[in-house]
Amino acid sequence: MLICRVVGNVVSTIKDEKLTGKKILIVRETTTENELVGKPIAAIDTVDAGIGDLVLIAQGSSARQTSLTKETPTDAVIMAIIDELAVDGKITFRK
């Protein structure tokens, strides 16, 4: 799992039929201090996340284990919205 921030969305009218009705968001990995790192990733949203939310994503075959992404051509999935993040006893993020 990776900690990411939702930074954008994808609109696609022509796509694989198994992706019809699925919301696709752009996320970027963050450090535990909320600094954006890494390249943008397109991920299927299963938890109704929005721009600015801090989320957990899974990639690869794990991304196809949710009820919404099973047997879809998915490489990344948003599976949780983070309410609070604490590292070494210090809260680094709170929604």
50-63 tens-digit pLDDT: 999 999 999 999 99
Give Cα 71 distance to the centre of its chain.
18
State the amino acid at position 8 in one-letter form.
G
Q: CA nearest 45: which of 13, 10, 15, 84?
A: 10
CA distance 41 to 71: 20
- 0.75 surpassed by pTM: yes
CB 52 within 8 A of CB 31: no
CA distance 72 to 88: 38
Mind listing the pLDDT tens digit for each residue in 3-17?
999 999 999 999 999
CB 41 within 8 A of CB 76: yes
